[in-house]
């Protein structure tokens, strides 16, 4: 199979960019081992499970010769009001809304991309290949192979960057036994820019190309189970699922075009007033976020985040909903509602942002 035919198949399957890398040990393998050794993966223990296998695709698929890196654009710009249209009525006082990472506002990308990977797998089988396909679901350092394949470069934020897609794309990988012509690695085009590092509200990008999950809002609001540490809560602002600050700051995103995938458009459930989420039972939470990435946080984690955000940006009109949440059967939801009520009633301590480097160790603090 030629590079040209693979590119055509990838486009037909709905991907926006494709590249081919040799199936070798990942270039950042040693750095990944050091990162794990320093505990930067926080409680995401699956990352430390057999890490060398994650670094070498030949340990995942016997006889692997190539890695196909694929990108799918998920950027959906905020819709401006139409000319001449009556503007949307402002929300009633107290009906503040939270901030959800752009990738999570629409349908969950895992199932969508997995279906398209299966289509490619069938065509690769016809060419005589055996494959394993992954989209954030297996032991592959996708970004390393995307760089080797010439699909992207490795940004200082640790995100993959594409000259036309910016940072707004999902990565997928296909390991194959086919010996395909590899692309040329893309040069690093970040230059002297440090906007992503400067933009991070918690200093989670502790050095260029290095992120410490123990400081990252995306980790705390999505992956972490249990209460949020005291140092983090004021820094959450209105964020209730993920954080896009380093993405929004990247100047390469000015070239990003809107995704052609309708499933990535924001769903109504991602735009509710914060206080409306607090009335969700377990069943209602699952129903409201059916097919959404937000289900990953679970009701406890999501309402914990909502309460915290209300403590930061809420208004007096949110107090009744928080009072109800303070009596929730879930102790963690209740505790964060109490914290929010104290803030809204004037009992909370003033927010003082920590120094981004050398600040109090969040691991020790909670």
Q: Which residues are catalytic?
A: 136
DSSP character string of 70-117: EEEE---PPPPPPTTPPPPPPPPTT--B-EE-GGGSSS-HHHHHHHHH
State in Å, rounded, how far the first CA of the chain is from the last one.
Answer: 53
Cα separation of 143 and 160, whole Å? 6
Q: How many residues does the chain have?
A: 366
61 three-state secondary structure: coil
Q: Scanning the structure block, which residue is given the tokens 């699952």?
A: 286
Cα separation of 218 and 36, whole Å? 18
In angstroms, how far apart are the furthest CA atoms of the chain? Answer: 68
* Distant-in-sequence, close-in-space partners of 87: CB < 8 Å, separation ≥ 6: 81
Q: Cβ atoms within 10 A of the Cβ of 75, count?
A: 19
Cβ atoms of residues 232 and 310 within 8 Å: no
Q: What angle do CA 117, 70, 188 make, to 5 degrees?
A: 165
Burial (Cβ within 10 Å: 0-12, 13-18, ≥19) of residue 133: buried
Q: What are the Cα distances from residue 28, in Å, to 116, 142, 223, 246?
A: 28, 11, 24, 21
Q: Which of 264, 329, 272 is nearest to 306 (CA)?
A: 272
């Amino acid at each position: 199979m030629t590079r040209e035919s693979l590119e055509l198949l990838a486009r037909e399957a709905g991907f926006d960019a494709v590249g081919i890398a040799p199936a070798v040990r990942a270039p950042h393998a040693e750095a990944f081992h050091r990162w794990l050794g320093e505990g930067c993966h926080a409680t995401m223990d699956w990352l430390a499970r057999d890490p060398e296998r994650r670094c070498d695709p030949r340990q995942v698929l016997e006889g692997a010769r190539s890695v196909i890196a694929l990108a799918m654009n998920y950027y959906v710009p905020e819709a401006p009001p139409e000319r001449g249209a009556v503007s949307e009525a402002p929300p009633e006082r107290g009906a503040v809304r939270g901030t959800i990472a752009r990738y999570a506002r629409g349908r969950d990308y895992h199932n969508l991309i997995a279906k398209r990977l299966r289509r490619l797998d069938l065509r690769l089988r016809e060419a005589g290949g055996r494959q394993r396909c992954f989209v954030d679901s297996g032991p592959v350092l996708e970004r390393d192979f995307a760089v080797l394949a010439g699909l992207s470069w490795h940004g200082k934020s640790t995100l993959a960057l594409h000259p036309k897609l910016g940072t707004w794309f999902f990565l997928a990988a296909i390991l194959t036994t086919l010996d395909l012509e590899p692309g040329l690695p893309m040069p690093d085009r970040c230059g002297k820019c440090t906007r992503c590092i400067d933009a991070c509200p918690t200093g989670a990008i502790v050095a260029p190309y290095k992120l410490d999950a123990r400081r990252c809002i995306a980790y705390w609001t999505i992956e972490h189970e249990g209460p949020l540490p005291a140092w983090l809560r004021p820094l959450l602002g209105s964020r209730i699922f993920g954080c896009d600050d380093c993405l929004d700051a990247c100047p390469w995103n000015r070239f990003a075009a809107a995704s052609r995938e309708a499933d990535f458009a924001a769903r109504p459930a991602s735009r509710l007033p914060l206080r409306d989420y607090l009335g969700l039972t377990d069943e209602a939470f699952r129903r409201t976020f059916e097919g959404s990435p937000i289900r990953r946080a679970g009701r406890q984690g999501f309402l914990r985040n909502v309460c915290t955000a209300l403590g930061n940006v809420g208004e007096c009109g949110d107090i009744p909903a928080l009072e109800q949440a303070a009596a929730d059967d879930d102790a963690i939801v209740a505790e964060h509602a109490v914290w929010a009520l104290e803030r809204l009633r004037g009992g909370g301590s003033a927010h003082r942002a920590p120094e981004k480097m050398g600040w109090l160790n969040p691991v020790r603090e909670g």
